[in-house]
Amino acid sequence: MTPNHDEKKSLPLGESVTAQDVLDAAERIADGIYRSPCPPSIPLSELTGCDVFCKLDLLQRTGSFKERGARNALLLLDESQKKCGVVAASAGNHALGLAYHGKLLQIPVTVVMPRFAPLVKVATCRRLGANVLLDGETFEEARQRATDIASDDGLRLIHGFDDAEIIAGQGTAAVEILDDVPDADAIVVPTGGAGLLAGVAVAAKARRPDIQIIAVEAAAAASFTASLAAGKPVDVPVRPTLADGLAVGRVGDRAFALAAPRVDRVQTVDERELSLAVLRLLELEKTSCEGAGAAALAALMGEAGQEFKGRKVVLLLCGGNIDPTVLHRVIDHGLAVDGRLWRFTATVSDRPGGIAKLTQVIADAGASVLEINHDRAFSGPEVFSTTVEVTVETADQDHIQALREQLREADFGITSATGSR
């Protein structure tokens, strides 16, 4: 029999979730969770040189793995707790999972979301019937508000990544992964508060002690890396990041105690790498993945990919809830990182034919003009020259370099825009 919430509190943190807890959770939630597939990916294997499989947990009803822990935690409430309801702090996906399964199980749900939470997640959470409060400039501020509500209103606080029931539920993803790819050499796990990492590590290492667990963090919120260095959970500053689901300034105490001795490697990825990973998944896998979910591929496209060349690697694509307006910007940013968009300024003659000459050089180089802005008034002291800002579509970084050289040979003074190479 699974120990209850209070009994779990009395156990040492590093022993508070076992492989059996994860197996029990898998059975408990099976009738309410989509068993997401874990197919091989030919294009990502060709891209990285690894034998890549993608655990598509972004196909859950609310778009992320968080449903697993949410349903497990809700099913383990006693009757009085189910009647009173629950409260949680979440940047979005934990809130969505609780809202959806709270509605299915008829349990009232209140969620506190930080003000930076993606609009699509806020709107969906409300549509699912949860009481949504936007409060706090950081996740920690939102969590404090949720704690106050739990105390004042007598609601059970369900932590998004550090409750034993949540961690056990998230670990069920690893059970499915090893059922589908029993000889996997590694699982790459996006990591914020480390609840998913802890659950996956506990389940996977119990079944396959030799499997490699790779944690991936956003460089803008590398709390697990800092905590490993300190030997305990520590606070880190959090910067805005495309991987908003990983924007946690301190890993969970329980999650850290469970994950730290079981993780084999930790890698951080920056915003350029995240943008490019989102773009690659969209183009090659036809999959719209949020930044947090794409972090797994970002790692494999970097250092981790070099280590696991030719070996079986499972990418846990854990979330697909990316705001459409953000996706548009991410695609453009990814194209720029990939060398397929280039913006530059050029000084041209302001006499007839000046801009025509510029665009002819661009056309001869095989590039395509997407946008051109002509500025006479603020181009400097030369009356008969002007500055134009040009955005062009190119094939890759080599194509940009070739175009740059041809423009200079044609006597155009050019400067790459900020963020362009």
Q: Which residue has the higher pLDDT, 293 or 244?
A: 293
153/298 same-domain check: no
What's the chain's average pLDDT? 91
Tens of pLDDT, residues 9-49: 556 776 789 999 999 999 999 999 999 999 999 999 999 99
Query: pTM value?
Result: 0.86
Tokens of residue 160, six digits = 């998004």
233/314 same-domain check: yes
Element (H, E) at 88: strand 86-89
Burial class (CB in 10 A: 0-12, 13-18, 19+), 380: exposed
Domain endpoint, select from 157, 191, 209: 157
Domain-located, residue 399: yes
Domain-located, residue 261: yes
pLDDT of residue 1: 46
In angstroms, what is the C-alpha Rg of the chain? 24
Q: CA 421 to CA 419: how far, in whole Å?
A: 7
223/314 same-domain check: yes
213/291 same-domain check: yes
Q: CA 247 to CA 110: how far, in whole Å?
A: 21
How many beta carbons lie within 10 A of that of residue 361, not counting itself?
Answer: 17
120/37 same-domain check: no
173/274 same-domain check: yes
How many beta carbons lie within 10 A of that of residue 45, not counting itself?
Answer: 16
Domain endpoint, select from 321, 349, 383: 321
Average pLDDT over residues 377-383: 58
Please state which of the ranges 10-14, 233-237, 263-267, 384-388 shows the lowest mean pLDDT: 10-14
Domain count, the chain: 3
138/42 same-domain check: no
310/217 same-domain check: yes
Domain-located, residue 403: yes
Residue 349 phi/psi, 5° resolution? -65, 140
How many beta carbons lie within 10 A of that of residue 75, not counting itself?
Answer: 17
Band of the pLDDT at 7, cuts 50, 70, 90? low
351/409 same-domain check: yes
153/262 same-domain check: no
Domain endpoint, select from 260, 293, 321: 321
Burial class (CB in 10 A: 0-12, 13-18, 19+), 319: buried
Domain-located, residue 332: no
Domain-located, residue 232: yes
Tens of pLDDT, residues 80-124: 999 999 999 887 889 999 999 999 999 999 999 888 777 777 888
**What is the residue whose two structure tokens read 């603020």?**
378
pLDDT of residue 9: 58
49/85 same-domain check: no
pLDDT of 314 over the 90 cut? yes
pLDDT of residue 257: 97
Average pLDDT over residues 231-252: 92
User: What is the extent of the structural domain holding 132?
Assistant: 66-157
Query: CATH code at 292?
Result: 3.40.50.1100
Query: CATH code at 399?
Result: 3.30.70.260
282/201 same-domain check: yes
**What is the residue whose two structure tokens read 């480390």?**
194
Domain-located, residue 106: yes
Domain-located, residue 244: yes
Domain-located, residue 408: yes
